[in-house]
């Protein structure tokens, strides 16, 4: 117990220093009350918008403070890091700000946009390996060979302290907060936030959220020791970590009140609702706190709760897919297959019926040649946007009255 408390005190001292060092360097991000999320959950919900931070995520806080500490200890010309996205951009930006070189190892599958952004912040990017573990091993090898400082994405006390400045800001912006909900990957973010909050307001509950397909901290706490998952499977790539760090495990075990998990459907739904109702662009990892609230995994009725939106660096194609799937799941976009006589004017009649039901036709595809299509018939796949899901019944009823066979996908 003494060892854990000593660790908490050490991190807290660093957070106090980091708060001053980062002042004017990074943004003090907004804490935005959301009326809609409050109504849905029964609590008073605020969003801590780290998606609006420099580089689009909280990672720049820990990266800059770590580099500051290295420079204060002696001459540092270069740092090495490994990341598939946000940590890479944070280190690259921080190193550039400090006028030192950065080398970032990224796996070959890393999104092109994140590779480009990391290079844009001034880093030398080396693509190596198919997994982040491959990249990590190579980065450590280079750091040892060239005697260069390696900046760990989460298992580093300075990095943890930098992230902890978010907790300081939350209590400055909402002194009477009662619950703070934080994403968990490796655990650096929640370790820092929990330390900052519990040292100032031990009565505030700090609750972590992991992706169900990458719940390494949850499993570790359940077994009482650090475990390494055999695989991770989630759209939340920013928190798809197989194993927490030694420091983060100890801090979370000591300070965090609870951990819940959310699945990819719940994450996607939260991303959609954040964008549509709160006008917030969140990456999957950044949306898990909101997902936990919206799915009812955390009871916040009558409480003032802060959900940390940790980042907004979402791939555009993934976001487009999530939006389309969400609209379909809510019945606001429908796809139907209609079997029609392959005769002039028939399709026009069908589209007219759909238009009369105040539906906006988005796409039409016609299949005449597949083996399952009867001779003289055509299968028409129609995608349409409807103002209200009840209109679907109206469309189906009207088309059936005309004698057409149809089904909703």
- Give percent of the chain above pLDDT 90: 71
Q: What is the mean pLDDT of residues 265-271?
A: 97
Task: Name the band, by pLDDT with cuts 50, 70 and 90, for residue 2.
Answer: low
pLDDT at 62: 98
Q: Where are the alpha helices (DSSP H) in 23-131?
A: 35-41, 59-73, 86-97, 112-120
pLDDT at 95: 96
- For residue 234, pLDDT over 90 is answered with yes
Q: Where are the alpha helices (DSSP H) in 85-240?
A: 86-97, 112-120, 132-146, 157-173, 188-200, 216-223
**pLDDT averaged over the chain?**
92
Cβ atoms 83, 95 nearer than 8 A: no
Model pTM score: 0.91
310 catalytic, yes or no? yes
Task: Name the band, by pLDDT with cuts 50, 70 and 90, for residue 4.
Answer: low
Residues shown for the chain? 409
- From 57, 191, 216, 310, the catalytic residue: 310
- For residue 120, pLDDT over 80 is answered with yes
pLDDT at 3: 57
198 catalytic, yes or no? no
Task: Name the band, by pLDDT with cuts 50, 70 and 90, for residue 351.
Answer: confident
pLDDT at 284: 96
Looking at 33-42, 59-68, 231-240, which range is the least confident one?
231-240
Q: What is the mean pLDDT of residues 91-115?
A: 91
Place of tokens 């001034």: 122
CA 277 to chain centre: 17
How many other C-beta atoms lie within 10 A of the C-beta of residue 236? 26
Q: What is the mean pLDDT of residues 73-99?
A: 92
Q: At what angle do helices 59-73 and 2-22 cross, to 10 degrees?
A: 90
- For residue 226, pLDDT over 60 is answered with yes
- From 14, 54, 59, 205, the catalytic residue: 59
Q: Which of 312, 323, 322, 353 is nearest to 336 (CA)?
A: 353
Cβ atoms 15, 196 nearer than 8 A: yes
pLDDT at 122: 94
Residues 342-350: contacts with CB under 8 Å, at least 24 apart:
342/368, 342/376, 342/377, 342/378, 347/378, 347/380, 349/402, 350/380, 350/382, 350/399, 350/402, 350/404
Going by DSSP bridges, is the β-strand pair 304-309/179-183 parallel, antiparallel, or unpaired? Answer: parallel
Domains and CATH numbers, the chain: 2-58+157-324 (3.40.50.1100), 60-150 (3.40.50.1100), 331-408 (3.30.70.260)
pLDDT digits (tens, 9 = 90+) for 9-41: 999 999 999 999 999 999 999 999 999 999 999
Q: Is 297 helix (H, G, I), strand (E, B) or coil?
A: coil
């Amino acid at each position: 117990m003494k060892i854990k408390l000593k660790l908490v005190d050490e991190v807290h001292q660093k957070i106090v220093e980091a708060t001053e060092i980062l002042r004017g360097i990074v943004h003090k991000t907004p804490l935005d009350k959301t009326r809609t999320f409050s109504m849905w959950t029964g609590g008073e919900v605020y969003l801590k918008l780290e998606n609006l931070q420099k580089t689009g995520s909280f990672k720049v806080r820990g990266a800059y403070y770590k580099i500051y500490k290295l420079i204060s200890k002696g001459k540092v010309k270069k740092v090495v890091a490994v990341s598939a996205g946000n940590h890479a951009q944070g280190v690259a930006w921080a190193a550039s700000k400090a006028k030192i070189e950065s080398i970032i190892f990224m796996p070959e599958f890393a999104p092109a946009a994140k590779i480009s952004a990391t290079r844009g912040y001034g880093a030398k990017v080396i693509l190596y390996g198919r997994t982040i573990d491959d990249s990590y091993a190579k980065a450590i090898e280079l750091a040892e060979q060239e005697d260069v400082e390696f900046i760990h994405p989460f298992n580093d006390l300075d990095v943890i302290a930098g992230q902890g400045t978010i907790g300081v800001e939350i209590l400055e912006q909402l002194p009477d907060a009662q619950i703070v909900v934080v994403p968990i990957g490796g655990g650096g973010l929640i370790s820092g936030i929990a330390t900052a909050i519990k040292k100032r307001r031990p009565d505030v509950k700090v609750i972590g959220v992991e992706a169900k397909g990458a719940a390494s901290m949850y499993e570790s706490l359940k077994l009482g020791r650090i475990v390494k998952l055999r695989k991770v499977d989630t759209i939340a790539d920013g928190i798809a970590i197989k194993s927490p760090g030694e420091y983060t495990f100890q801090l979370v075990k000591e300070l965090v009140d609870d951990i819940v998990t959310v699945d990819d459907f719940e994450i996607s739904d939260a991303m959609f609702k954040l964008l549509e109702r709160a006008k917030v662009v969140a990456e999957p990892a950044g949306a898990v706190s909101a997902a936990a609230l919206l799915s009812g995994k955390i009871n916040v009725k009558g409480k003032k709760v802060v959900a940390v939106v940790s980042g907004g660096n979402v791939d555009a194609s993934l976001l487009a897919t999530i939006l389309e799937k969400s609209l379909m799941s809510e019945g606001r976009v429908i796809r139907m297959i209609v079997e029609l006589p392959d005769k002039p004017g028939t399709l026009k009649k069908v589209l007219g019926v759909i238009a009369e039901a105040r539906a906006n036709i988005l796409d039409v595809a016609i299949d005449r040649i597949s083996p399952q299509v009867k001779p003289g018939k055509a299968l028409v796949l129609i995608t349409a946007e409807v103002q209200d899901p009840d209109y679907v019944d109206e469309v189906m009823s009207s088309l059936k009255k005309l004698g057409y066979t149809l089904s909703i996908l």
